[in-house]
Structure 1
């Protein structure tokens, strides 16, 4: 049965209780969201066409210029909802695709229609599976090991190197770490992926870039709906949303509650989440929108085990995790406002946000952290002709500040013991950015930009039994970029850029020690700085699409968070170090194509057999390191392939197999002595979705019940008994049904 654990704040309880009352069906996007999929994302079954809406004023003004690729013979654009006007602050998926393709680098849009109606959509892996360059592997519950271009490979817990946003509002804490437990994949209309320094507009300057999760509004089509999903390992979820518009007002709310026993022992958990927004349009060119989000998550942690245990007894949990009842529990409330004003050729956006997060985390110690994050942002986009040449200028400022009331207690079988450490950690981050795209030819732009980041970290030690570990530091970092964007035709682009990224270490990476004793000297930790060279091309046409990007990042002072010798004892401590020089380079390639058409139905809308492939080649290595020479960096496969062959009938029926393939084992240690195992997983799914009110699916995963390693922690030198491995899930079947109106 579904479980809603106690001990949440008054505001959080009120929001979650309200969600239970208003829980009503989840909406899906109309034809625009479903037909105009980005490269490498298999299109979901076609939806019914809707009425044509009046295009926004910016679209009419921009018709003079050569814009980013859009599909040939584009479908009719459905109305943005029940109101007379579409939302100004939240773009449709097609508008967002046009906007993101102004980027001279690796980017992607993943519409919800590509995954939400045809999979269980339970983790971020379900969302990003077919985006090349992204490596997302489940660990337990909603937790995932996520890396883009080798970002944060050494972070054996939480997330580093990728900035997460919800409607442009930061999910990461002010000191930089992130979690996935606040992400509900079924709640979004599309997800934007900005790789590396291509995320400049968010103030993100990390190696991996940024991911932005965008919710629908009350002006979107089909704002009401409900869904139920269930399947293997005791998984069950009820999700619903409601919305609508009345004159200048519109509103949307979505809520879900779920629970699962988990594949492994000691991996059961539950989650209740609610998100929504309310908008008011002062005029067709001015809108303000308020956002809220609340989460209550309770999750047991099975832990990492030896390679032999992972492959021969994958359900087993680490004994220490069971004995200490290790958990990760989070309560969160987030509120924000965003105001958008549109002038003739200029759009101005500004807003503010605040987050209250409580982490209750019994592991090697009982971590009790209270986070208070707040900030604001402002952005100006000016797209006009100057002297007969199109010029697009984007500039802005982002402020993200916060504090962590950090207390750690002895973990007595899952209960709090004596206080072991206490501190107040404060972070401040202010980034300013500017990027200009000058079209010196009608279809070729020269792009130049830069970002400046001022960041401080300050710790006030309140537990002096092991010495005073207070301290402070600050960073002043410039991240310039330059590139070219060539719109070869309305559906085809080529691009190249050179960019710099710089990452400031988080507080979690600045702690080290063993046996429960923590040493803190973050003033000796340098920021990670990378210079990345990138070249690529992408195309999107009705029956085929592809993209290919090659990049090389020369990194100085890459942050490595290692367990060192304490990994064998399972203490969970982290020894952070700056590597000297490293190289991350690779190829991100994907393609989608209707390889057969009119197989059984050769009418105006013939049936099709779609092939979708996403391939990532990773070459991450030390660069003449004094200890590890030119060894490969551990933590990610050299080759990673996802492919799907999907038959789609115009009636709405679809089915087909898929495969996940890691053909070569990868190292888990810097010394390159211990590897994972190669694997291939076979899946199959079928369903019905004709664009009407009802859709349903059934999906099988790992049908051969292959024992494999989905994720690893890393270490400087591993042995055969190092507990570094996360077993992947066994054979699983999921099913679900959605109804909308």
Structure 2
């Protein structure tokens, strides 16, 4: 562990920046802590609902002995909400790097660092229902960032409840319900590079029935050439309270997106001519077009001292994806889940037991053609059916050895199977199958110092099974990839004092067989390998403060929000790369904002995104990415009434910078692995609620 001392070294500037820091404070509109006194709370305090409110979700998530967060819609509604970055940009430990349109690369604690497409290493759910394909990949084109009431973030093994088997953890998108929704909520957003988005929703109640529905349509020309796209999305949420102790809820989600892809370019082109596209990608008219529909049911019931949640789901996606070849595939996923929380007293001691299971199976039916000029299908080049089976079971017990001190132990079992049947045999039979069985234990401590401050720590293991683009069975190596395993140690604290809150975590992950997706050429899929030993360690610190400025005028305030992430990722005595740094993201990353708020509802202030220092684009550490700082400015009006409006400027200095890197083993100055960041942009929006 040649560089473990760097973790302590990084903590000093981090704590100076953000020791009063808590993203959790943002999860309450009132600004007051939602944490319940553990000595007074029992199972009857838990609301029996399939869709908790922001306050209820915050109270529940803060029983986790690790880094978690709830982000309410008040933190992102008055933004262009084009990508999931608009939601997660102030969550420490989460790095979101835009690529084009709605697509981003998202990494938590270094998960999926090497991915040039899709996202791996994170479980994404909507209302607790899986959005990943059954083999593990995520497609952010299906995410509508403006449609959610709040978003939950579980980092690392803290995502036990969702059966997450990956280093990054889980993100749960939660749609509104009719009990809390406005009869009409409509908005229109416009901005640079042809961005136009309209959205409307409605919701209400009739006796024990409630409903919520939203639709949105979006169009964008794109900052870069050949990056135009359009999206249409809709969500429907119907709930019925069968009795005071039982609620059932039905969900329907639909998406139709079309997006052109400008492609990675050389570093010189990305910085010197950032609006240009890769000419070969333009010739092939590379695109990603997705139509999907998801349906689900979730029922929640109180059974004695226990709250039980159970559900079923079905997801269908048709993807038309002309890239280096013309991919045409259909995804059919289905599954079920059950979770129980039993919170009771055992004599004089309180005990909270959580246990559950998740089943997700699916089929990917793929045909792959030669991609001729202009996205024209040529001859059939591949055809296969991929089947995935995933079963996870977990249990976690919290024993309160004192009213404010809980000792926590947990265990998760994962069984996963990947089975490919090759139907295109002219180049040989590339069928294959492999099964994975992993046990992941967990132990932690949660200490409520006061009703508004906690200290926590945990030690956990996690496992991540290769996706089908890695387990291709085309070669012996691709059919024998091992599951990625990690042991993580974490300590932290969160809380609030006065108008200032904090959220600080330090973690150290020792990883075996890390899955890397190395770019080997400009016009082919990446090559996935196992890296023997790596270390991911870092500091995550958040700040949220609401400071009165009564000396200036009665009711004025200054709202300060900041998220600092320190990422120290490196090879551990690797045979080829020694102790080199792992490429892909900045070592230091800061997102901060200061907003002056007037009692009239007017607010204004600057924000900054800062990645100081170089980071590398390849394992060999031979090509680096330059540091950058982006300046933004917001101006808006929102008194919580019917009308609100905003204007926001981003990258006002028009800085040329690199947004994402498709990492390589060894890169050169001509390697086409870079995506330029978006230049100066201005957005504006108007919202009406009735």
State the TM-score, normalized to the length of structure 1.
0.88
Q: Distance in 1 between matches of 2:31 and 2:519?
A: 54
RMSD: 2.2
Q: Give CA-to-partner distance per residue, 1:119-169, whole Å, 9 cap, x none.
A: 111101110000000000100000001000000001221010001000000
Which residue number corresponds to residue 90 of structure 1? 51
Is the aligned partner of 1:675 residue 2:658?
Answer: no
Deviation of the 1:222 alpha carbon: 2.5
Which residue number corresponds to residue 447 of structure 2? 486
Is the aligned partner of 1:525 residue 2:474?
Answer: no
Which residue number corresponds to residue 507 of structure 2? 551
Q: Give CA-to-partner distance per residue, 1:363-394, whole Å, 9 cap, x none.
A: 00000110000000001001111111111110
Is the aligned partner of 1:625 residue 2:585?
Answer: no
SS across alignment from 2:86: helix
**Residue pair 2:634, 2:648 contacting (<8 A) in 1 also:** yes
Q: Distance in 2 between matches of 1:43 and 1:231?
A: 27
Q: Distance in 2 between matches of 1:500 and 1:47?
A: 37
Q: Which moved more, 1:158-167 or 1:518-527?
A: 518-527
Deviation of the 1:607 alpha carbon: 1.1
**Residue pair 2:133, 2:333 contacting (<8 A) in 1 also:** yes
Is the aligned partner of 1:737 residue 2:686?
Answer: yes
Is the aligned partner of 1:607 residue 2:556?
Answer: yes
Which residue number corresponds to residue 39 of structure 1? 22
Q: Distance in 2 between matches of 1:86 and 1:445?
A: 22
Q: Give CA-to-partner distance per residue, 1:58-87, whole Å, 9 cap, x none.
A: 999x772499xx9xxxxxxxxxxxxxx987
Deviation of the 1:519 alpha carbon: 4.2
Correspondent of 1:242 among 196, 202, 206? 202
Where in structure 2 are the equivalents of 1:348-387 lying within 5 Å? 348-387=308-347
SS across alignment from 1:197: helix
Q: Distance in 1 between matches of 2:26 and 2:244?
A: 32
Q: Distance in 1 between matches of 2:547 and 2:36?
A: 33
Are the structure 2 counterparts of residues 360 and 87 from structure 1 closer, same or farther at C-alpha, using a change threshold of 3 Å? farther
Correspondent of 2:261 among 301, 309, 322? 301
Which residue number corresponds to residue 475 of structure 1? 436
Q: Which moved more, 1:287-296 or 1:383-392?
A: 383-392
Q: Distance in 1 between matches of 2:358 and 2:339?
A: 9
SS across alignment from 2:60: helix
Which residue number corresponds to residue 74 of structure 1? none
Which residue number corresponds to residue 442 of structure 1? 403
Which residue number corresponds to residue 10 of structure 2? none
**Residue pair 1:491, 1:541 contacting (<8 A) in 2 also:** yes
Q: Give CA-to-partner distance per residue, 1:392-412, whole Å, 9 cap, x none.
A: 110000000000001110001
Deviation of the 1:48 alpha carbon: 13
SS across alignment from 2:613: coil
**Residue pair 2:440, 2:461 contacting (<8 A) in 1 also:** yes
SS across alignment from 2:50: coil
Is the aligned partner of 1:124 residue 2:84?
Answer: yes
SS across alignment from 2:159: helix
Where in structure 2 are the equivalents of 1:287-326 lying within 5 Å? 287-326=247-286
Q: Distance in 2 between matches of 1:404 and 1:110?
A: 33
Correspondent of 1:701 among 650, 654, 676? 650
Correspondent of 2:147 among 184, 187, 196? 187
Q: Distance in 1 between matches of 2:49 and 2:627?
A: 48
Q: Give CA-to-partner distance per residue, 1:578-625, whole Å, 9 cap, x none.
A: 1000000000011122345214322xxx21112211100000000000
SS across alignment from 1:181: helix
Are the structure 2 counterparts of residues 38 and 164 from structure 1 closer, same or farther at C-alpha, using a change threshold of 3 Å? farther
SS across alignment from 2:616: coil
Which residue number corresponds to residue 12 of structure 2? none
State the TM-score, normalized to the length of structure 2.
0.94
Q: Distance in 1 between matches of 2:605 and 2:149?
A: 24
**Residue pair 1:38, 1:109 contacting (<8 A) in 2 also:** no
Q: Distance in 2 between matches of 1:444 and 1:46?
A: 28
Deviation of the 1:220 alpha carbon: 0.9
Deviation of the 1:521 alpha carbon: 5.2
Which residue number corresponds to residue 663 of structure 2? 714
Is the aligned partner of 1:505 residue 2:466?
Answer: yes
Q: Distance in 1 between matches of 2:422 and 2:197?
A: 42
Which residue number corresponds to residue 543 of structure 2? 591
Q: Distance in 2 between matches of 1:650 and 1:484?
A: 42
Is the aligned partner of 1:101 residue 2:56?
Answer: no
Is the aligned partner of 1:265 residue 2:225?
Answer: yes
Correspondent of 1:426 among 387, 390, 400? 387
Correspondent of 2:675 among 726, 729, 732? 726
Q: Distance in 1 between matches of 2:27 and 2:405?
A: 33
Are the structure 2 counterparts of residues 86 and 349 from structure 1 closer, same or farther at C-alpha, using a change threshold of 3 Å? closer
Are the structure 2 counterparts of residues 721 and 646 from structure 1 closer, same or farther at C-alpha, using a change threshold of 3 Å? same
SS across alignment from 1:523: coil
Which residue number corresponds to residue 662 of structure 1? 611
Unaligned runs of 5+ in 1: 1-36, 50-54, 71-84, 513-517
Correspondent of 1:691 among 612, 634, 640? 640
